[in-house]
Amino acid sequence: MDNWLRTFCVLCDSCMSSESLVIPLPPDLETRQKWVDALFPTNSSAKFQMKKVTWLRNRLLRQKATRYRICVYHFSRDSFEETTQNGEIVINTDSLPLSMESDDYDVIPRGPNSVCKCVLCDDWKKQTEMVILRNPSMESEKVFLCDVLLHADKGLVRKTIHSLSRSGKSALICSTHFPDQQDPFSILAERRLLYNVQAECVLCSHTDECTAMIPFPSEEEEKLRTKWINSMCREPWVYRYLTKRLAKDGRHYLCSSHFSKNSLRYQTGLGLYRKPGCSPLLSCTNEEERQTVWDLTKSSHEYHPLALESIDSNGIGPIDYDQVVDMLGFTRLIQIESEMHQMRTDNMIPRKKIHGLLEVNHEEEEEELQHHEIGEKEDEEEEDVEEDGVIYDEMHQLEMEEGEVEDEEINVTVSPDPPQITAISDQHQDHHEEEQEQEQKPL
């Protein structure tokens, strides 16, 4: 047998890196018939053309076993078992391969090392390096996921999210696509659950709705929490003041004024949220904020973080989306989103600015593109008007016949009398001298 055929997978149409990653077809026809029926359950296939499916079926169902092989990634992880002799992983004799009709949202781990396909990277990764992405059920959730998921091609992200929503299935993606290693649906659950709930800013003690503030990382998110504290504190007294407040049990929040305008986003039906990778600004940089925090350190004001008894009984951590759905009900979630839409319609929430922040979403981007196109049309109309008005940069023919108008020279004379400036042109002065000569001639 040729060397390339030893590692060639007839289904993937490619060679594997090792001979141990391919499995020969069973020698008996009955078992091979079961394998073929499992691989191609129907006569039609979404991924394979009918011609190729027919060729594979005829090739694999020969009376004499073919030398072609298939790779281990066409079998589920449950099809393999570890031997007790030398610890090798072998395939069960009764296992059947997975169907070729399985779509990209299949979350079944494959092969002996449990790999799955990331729908964003289009690459196979270990299941331990991947996380489950739920299918969005509301429009605001789709827009939110398209904005926060980390990927270079945002068009691919939007296409994947819409396909995921239509399929009604969950998918596996690499954990690196999650913003700051946080599940986006835990952020959605927190926004839904704390709708119309007031919270106090951990730095300036300003009170506002939770949907208009940014949650501070919990103790479980140690790296992100330390990053935020170091970003906000440069003076020892500010560090002691902030860490003392963060030591209290509960959920802490920050005002939008402690972030730059470009690091926050507002989505109708969801509220305010932070862009991935953005941190708070350095605190106490202006006199007003510095004086406010300094007065709080000296005053007897007691800070009270937000506490959720039914959820935070086992510690402060990410909120489970399913738990919020069970508590509020899916009907209430839809009602909350419609109420926030109505608040924007009634101008209770300004459209252009939310706490001094520009609202950024896909609708706004489309409006900007429309305004840009309208501006270009107006510029074109202005250029057309100039052509119709026949405005020339060169001199007109009549002006050329009359001649150019020369600038007159100005002579300044000073008399011995009180300072007096007279401006007389050369032509006027010659005309005045001729009149004086005519007056002096005898009659």
pLDDT at 392 exceeding the cut of 50: no
| 228 inside domain | yes
Which range, of 57-61, 222-226, 390-394, 399-403, averages the lowest pLDDT? Answer: 390-394
| 237 inside domain | yes
Distance, CA of 229 to CA of 359 (rounded, Å): 27
| 151 inside domain | no
pTM of the model: 0.68
| 89 inside domain | no
381 or 70, greater pLDDT: 70
Distance, CA of 303 to CA of 293 (rounded, Å): 12
| 423 inside domain | no
| 24 inside domain | yes
Whether 189 and 67 map to the same domain: the answer is: no
Nearest-CA neighbor of 179 among 273, 272, 262?
273
Which range, of 51-55, 262-266, 291-295, 413-417, averages the lowest pLDDT? Answer: 413-417
Mean pLDDT computed over 431-439: 54
| Whole-number percent of the chain with pLDDT over 90 | 22
Last residue of one domain, picked from the residues 51, 72, 93? 72
Last residue of one domain, picked from the residues 72, 87, 120? 72
| 299 inside domain | yes
Beta strands 253-254 and 207-209 are unpaired
Contact partners, residue 362, CB within 8 Å, separation at least 6: 143, 146
Instruction: Identify the band that residue 58 occupies on the pLDDT scale cut at 50, 70 and 90.
Output: confident
Distance, CA of 367 to CA of 266 (rounded, Å): 16
133 or 90, greater pLDDT: 133
CA distances from 341 to 219, 325, 338, 364, 439 (A): 34, 20, 5, 15, 95
Number of domains in the chain: 2
User: Residue 39 is part of which domain span?
Assistant: 3-72
Element (H, E) at 166: helix 154-167
| 268 inside domain | yes
Whether 203 and 66 map to the same domain: the answer is: no
Residue 279 and residue 227 in contact, taking contact as beta carbons nearer than 8 Å: yes
Last residue of one domain, picked from the residues 72, 92, 126? 72
